[in-house]
Amino acid sequence: MVEPDWSDKVILIAEDEKINFLFLKAVFKNTGIAILEANTGREAVELCENDQNQIDIILMDIKMPDIDGLEATRQIKKMNPDITVIAQTAYTFKEDQERAEAAGCDDFLAKPIRPVNLLALVDKYL
């Protein structure tokens, strides 16, 4: 896959594990996309509340401190039902995917994440 030009797009990566965030940031390095970081579910919600950055897509870890990714997604979707949220999680059972969809996630990506799969999935929504 040729790396896309998303220089006019903004992604919010909600991930509490720094090493995972750095990995995801590296995957997007050559796409030009602007990256916002949230370390907790509450931070993700707050960034969406004050969305001067005009976030185009959210990569949401499900297991997050203070507010988990599912509750954060529910709150974000109440504010902005049109924003795309992709759940990313090590929880890969069918029930986990169904809970993510029920919370409002538009898609689901299982960890460990393969860069080519991540870029293709984000490209589908951008």
Domain ranges, ordered by start, for the chain: 10-125
pLDDT at 78: 94
| 24-83 pLDDT tens trace | 999 999 999 999 999 999 999 999 998 766 999 999 999 988 999 999 999 999 999 999
Q: Is 80 exposed, middle or buried (0-12, 13-18, 19+ CB in 10 A)?
A: middle
At the topology level, CATH places domain 10-125 in Rossmann fold (3.40.50)
Cis (ω within 30 of 0) for the bond into 112?
yes
